[in-house]
Amino acid sequence: MSATQPYIPRAASRGNAQDSYRGSKRSELRIWWREIDRWLLGLVLLLMLLGTVAVAAGSPASARRLSTNSVKLDELYFYWAHLRWQAVGLVVLFGASLLSRDNARRLGILVAAGALAALFLVPLIGSEVNGARRWLDLGMRFQPSEFLKPGFAIAMAWIFSWRVRDPNLPTVWIASGVMVLVAALLMLQPNFGDTLLFGGVWFTLVVLAGISIKRLSVLAGLGALAMAATYFLYDNARHRIDSFIGGGTAFDQVDLAQRTLLGGGWTGTGMRLGIRKFNLPEAHTDYIFSVIGEEFGLLACALIVVLYLAIMARVLVRLAEEEDLFTLLAGAGLATQLGGQAFINILVNLQLFPSKGMTLPLISYGGSSTIAVCLAVGLLLAITRRNPFLKRNVRGLKDLLTDREERA
């Protein structure tokens, strides 16, 4: 080589570049596996597995009910469809869990904005099913409120976290305004059940955000007035509440669900041996908990309740020493949304709550609802990711609750 000739480094070979890329992806996966809450992930996957078995049990009842003279559905029609939706949901779950905390926050806010925009379209071009207009059919039918659930929890947490930068910002009133808008759009459908669920998430975050007891009492009073107004202004809600208080008849959905739930005793009739499930209107979705009770017994139902409680407890343990206000609120909001929906569904099946048309998350059959629930779990896993080697000596959820008790 000539002394005057400049040195030009040789470009890396294609193979070396690919090896470097694979190495970086493996490194990212190792970091993800180290930081992810593996207990929470395991509990979620176990519930999804139990849901697959439950849908296989409930599918014949729904297939027979929805079959016509011209179209006869296979007994396992909803089971095979559920497997396909679960596969898509798992991709969404793991994909969302790989996000960093900041990217998970950005995705949640974008999902909330998109779902809220879609809610405005529902009264105009939405599809009506069983007297309610809740779905949009844009090539694929989906329910915007299902996707709003994870986005709403993250967006509310983001708004409340503004207080860290400026304590004088009216974050409570901004979040309350968003809640009123969401409630109005949902009640236009009407969708009283989801309105209650969103209100529960909002109230949980208001409590955790650290507002004064006086302002909290005012908001609770306004919420009670809104509930009373709903009873008098919306016939659907009034009829369901009156039916629930009055006890209903033997042919009411809630009564049929309870009879099916108790029909199998402690150990159940056995897989696909249940008879009462064929009387249920939505055996594979809203009333799948009753199908589980009939075919697998009350002990299986108790196991599912314990698993939901374990998920809630695990999230709270994870947040107990969390220093970031957004993370604390977003994690609590997502857990409230998931647990609240599960226990409303279970209480309906136990005839302890009026019928709400709400699925059992991670268990019930669903298309877009399965994807939305998996997105919520994936975002929860991403937000609660933590380096196990970092020691925290900061204020967390337990200190926040202690301060509230002292102020009270």
C-alpha to C-alpha distance for 310 and 19, rounded to whole angstroms: 41
Q: What is the pLDDT of residues 272-294, one digit of tens each?
A: 888 888 888 888 888 899 999 98
Q: What is the pLDDT of residues 125-177, one digit of tens each?
A: 777 776 667 778 777 778 888 999 999 999 999 999 888 787 788 888 888 88
Give the pLDDT band (50/70/90) at residue 360. very high
Do residues 334 and 379 touch, judged by C-beta distance below 8 A?
yes
Q: Is 399 helix (H, G, I), strand (E, B) or coil?
A: helix
Q: Where does residue 257 rank: exposed (0-12), middle (13-18), buried (19+ CB within 10 A)?
A: buried
Give strand ranges (E) for 105-218.
127-129, 132-137, 141-142
Q: List b or e across 60-93, with b for residues whose CB sees 16 or more CB atoms inside 10 angstroms.
A: bbbbeeeeeeeeebebbbbbebbeebbeebbebb
Q: Is 259 helix (H, G, I), strand (E, B) or coil?
A: helix
133: which strand partners?
128
Give the pLDDT band (50/70/90) at residue 245. low
Domain ranges of the chain: 37-248+296-407
For residues 322 and 173, the model is more confident at: 173
> What's this model's pTM, rounded to 2 decimal places?
0.83
Question: Virtual CA dihedral for 240, 246, 247, 249, nearest 10 degrees?
Answer: -80
Q: Where does residue 320 rank: exposed (0-12), middle (13-18), buried (19+ CB within 10 A)?
A: middle
Of 55-59, 204-208, 270-274, 392-396, the range with the lowest mean pLDDT is: 392-396
Interval 89-98 mean pLDDT: 94
Q: What pLDDT score was predicted for residue 26?
A: 78
- Ramachandran quadrant class, 272 (left: phi over 0; alpha: psi -120 to 50; beta: rest): left
Of 178-182, 241-245, 376-380, the range with the lowest mean pLDDT is: 241-245
- φ, ψ for residue 142, nearest 5 deg: -150, 160
State yes or no: pLDDT of 213 exceeds 90: no
State yes or no: pLDDT of 1 exceeds 60: no
Give the pLDDT band (50/70/90) at residue 23. low
